Amino acid sequence: MAFLKILNLPDPRLRLKAQKISQIDRSVLRLVDDLLETMYDSEGCGLAANQVGILQRVAVVDVRYKEPDTPLVKMINPKILSASEHLSCYEEGCLSVPGQYEEVKRPAHVKVQFLDENGKENVLEAHGLLATCIQHEIDHLDGRLFIDHLSYLKKESILRKIKKKESVISLSK
């Protein structure tokens, strides 16, 4: 396993759509393991391949620290089959947008289909934080970030803070 470098906003690769996996070979299994290791080392609860610069439809989610009865989810080619009209609200963060957190409203229940590491098709019905986190990670695979769900003003405020941080870093170099 390996720890991969996580890309931060405004890296343009976070805005690209990841490609479907056509065959689950050793490199895909390795990517799943590396994503898990990178997520745990960074104390995250979800990570998508786009965030480490790999444009393939693979993502991992583990919210067991908060919801102990949920499964560790390793998703290849995930797809939302249905989403509830009822919404729920969670404070979200993102390893690619460090230090920024905002409440995001999303469907409270989702039915998601994906391939597991054995190439077996799974259908999972998720609610609570698990449902939110799964949607957040599938968004990454489509080049979307949680800040895209915020009001214009909240999103601009976060982007401004990131720009400010960047300019401070470039001055100190």
- 133 is a site residue for ligand QAP (CB under 6 A): yes
Over the range 32-59, which residues count as b (16 or more CB within 10 Å of their CB) and which as e?
bebbbbbbeeeebbbbbbbbbebebbbb
Pairing of strands 121-127, 109-115: antiparallel
Whether the CA torsion 59, 35, 129, 44 is positive or negative: it is negative
- 114 is a site residue for ligand QAP (CB under 6 A): no
Residue 86, CB-side half-sphere exposure with 13 Å CA sphere:
6
- 145 is a site residue for ligand QAP (CB under 6 A): no
Q: How far is the CB of 141 from Co ion (least distance, A)?
A: 11
DSSP 155-167: HHHHHHHHHHHHH
- 46 is a site residue for ligand QAP (CB under 6 A): yes
Active-site residue 92, yes or no? no
Residues of this chain that interact with Co ion (CB under 5 A) are 94
- 132 is a site residue for ligand QAP (CB under 6 A): yes
The residue among 43 and 85 lying less far from ligand QAP, judged by its C-beta, is 43
Q: Single out the residue of 10, 71, 98, 119 in contact with ligand QAP (rule: CB under 6 A).
A: 98
The region of 3-11, 38-46, 112-120, 160-168 touching ligand QAP under the rule CB under 6 A is 38-46
Which of these, 25, 23, 18, lies nearest to 52 by C-alpha position? Answer: 18
Q: Tell me which of 43, 67, 137, 156 is the catalytic residue.
A: 137
Any idea which residues carry the catalytic annotation? Answer: 137
Site residues, ligand QAP (CB under 6 A): 42-46, 90, 92-95, 98-99, 132-133, 136
